[in-house]
Amino acid sequence: MAGRSQLTVQIMENQTRFSLNTAIENWRNELATQPNLANDDRRELETHLRDAIADFQQRGLNGEESFWLARRRVGQPQQLGEEFVKADPAKAWRERFFSMALGMIVFFLLTQIITFAVGIALYYLFPGLREFYVKSGFWPADAVVLIIGIALARGWFAQSMKLMWFLKSRFHLVSLVVILALLLSLTQTEFARENFLLHGHHPSVVAWEWAPWGENILHFLLGYLRIVAPVIFLVLLFPAQNQKALKRS
Amino acid sequence: MYNTAMLTKDLMAASSKPLLLSILAGGESYGYEIIQKVRELSGGQIEWSDGMLYPVLHRLERDGLIESEWKESDTGRERKYYFISSDGRKALKTERQQWLAVHNSLCKLWKIKPVSA
């Protein structure tokens, strides 16, 4: 019996053992939920937290004590967010516009991709529905995107799909979005979409053959700009401080 | 922990600029080191909350009085270092004159009418 209870105690001890790395990771995630803190701010606060922890440890405190003291000293994430806004309200707005632009482009890209995915599925599975789909203005695809958007916003996939990396590296997300948008913009016009879905021509071929030499160059350019313009907007809005930090790292 | 001689909020806000500029005029530094230095200098009477320091630093940076750069320290850890700009040195000179003017006036007044301890 004695051996068994000792084992239980040992297990419990293992379960509750404090991990400094996990604690810092959790703290970082908590900080990431503050919309007013830029990447650079968070990185700076984290170096501060780590400095404080190291300092307390040097003074003889253990990892857990050091972490909690350092955390308290740096301040509550929510409070930090509020203070940072007060120092630079314009920055907070830039961040918000940035998030909005990013959201719009991601929505747009998803619509484009799903429009084609649904189109291809119909093309092979239910050819009879193709015309209806094109004439409908592709609303079934928009509906799918809307449902995905709502699901994301409500966090339905957050845990199962590990979507948190979106928040962790905004630079990677923006790069991916820009590349996708530029690629798609080469192939996507209203005309190409309809041609592909109705007649089965590959969209890139259609756009390329048709647009540069066709009568509606302006139409093509506008279709192209519609995708590229928000991307330019997004890149311009990418926080200057982050750009500076990236150049240096 | 609570110190009755702690600075009021207004005084804290007003003095942060000359303090930061003076510290950085003595050489580049990073947030944690700055806080430690202020604590040390004031004998614990000026207790800046750590997270509040950065908004102030960022504002000074935006005003062009200081600049910043991410650099690796000798321990291998990356830190954001701040250093004073030439505009910052000019601003410090003005701050210094103003604070000394207040200080000297108070000294004269208090010499005439000292506060009993």
Q: How confident is the model at residue A139 (pLDDT cuts 50, 70, 90)?
A: confident
Distance CA A173, CA A106 (A): 10
- B48-64: average pLDDT: 86
Q: What is the mean pLDDT of chain A?
A: 70
Residue A99 pairs with which residues in a beta bridge? none
Do the chains contact at B55 and A75, CB–CB below 8 Å?
Answer: no
Q: Domains of chain B, with CATH numbers? A: 9-112 (1.10.10.10)
**Contact map slice: A 163-222 vs B, CB within 8 A:** none
The minimum CA-CA distance between B58 and chain A, rounded to whole Å, is 8
- A148-162: average pLDDT: 65
Cα-Cα-Cα-Cα dihedral sign, residues A48, A51, A56, A62: positive
Summarised one tens digit per residue, pLDDT across range B58-116 is: 889 988 999 998 888 777 788 999 999 999 999 999 999 999 888 888 888 887 654 44
CA atoms within 13 A on the CB side of A73: 24
**Contact map slice: A 11-40 vs B, CB within 8 A:** 40
The whole-number pLDDT of residue A224 equals: 67
pTM of the model: 0.57
CB A100 within 8 A of CB A54: no
Q: What is the DSSP letter of B49?
A: -
A78 pLDDT above the threshold of 70: yes
> What residue of B is the nearest CA neighbor of A36?
B55
Angle between helices A190-199 and A89-125 (to 10 degrees): 20
The whole-number pLDDT of residue A158 equals: 55
- A160-164: average pLDDT: 51
Q: Which residue has the higher pLDDT, A155 or A145?
A: A145
Which of B49, B50, B56 is facing A87, going by the closest CB pair? Answer: B56
A140 pLDDT above the threshold of 60: yes
Q: What burial class does residue A189 get, using C-beta atoms within 10 Å of its C-beta: 0-12 exposed, 13-18 middle, 19+ buried?
A: buried
Say what percent of chain A tops pLDDT 70.
58
A53 pLDDT above the threshold of 70: yes
Cα-Cα-Cα-Cα dihedral sign, residues A163, A165, A166, A172: negative
A23 pLDDT above the threshold of 50: yes
The whole-number pLDDT of residue A244 equals: 46
> What residue of B is the nearest CA neighbor of A85?
B55
Q: How confident is the model at residue A18 (pLDDT cuts 50, 70, 90)?
A: confident
Q: B79 contacts in A (CB within 8 Å)?
A: 47, 51
Domain ranges within chain A, ordered by starting residue: 2-87, 89-248
Which of A51, A86, A248 is facing B70, going by the closest CB pair? Answer: A248
A159 pLDDT above the threshold of 70: no
The whole-number pLDDT of residue A144 equals: 79
Buried b / exposed e along A196-220 (16+ C-beta atoms within 10 A):
bbeeebebeebbeebbeeeeeeeeb
Summarised one tens digit per residue, pLDDT across range A184-232 is: 665 555 555 565 555 555 444 444 454 444 555 666 666 667 667 777 7
The whole-number pLDDT of residue B113 equals: 53
Q: Which residue has the higher pLDDT, B9 or B96?
A: B96
Do the chains contact at A44 and B55, CB–CB below 8 Å?
Answer: no
What string of DSSP letters covers A50-115? HHHHHHHHHTT--HHHHHHHHHHHH--HHHHHHHHHHH-HHHHHHHHHHHHHHHHHHHHHHHHHHH
- A119-141: average pLDDT: 73
Query: Does B59 lie at the interface with A, CB-CB under 8 angstroms?
Result: yes
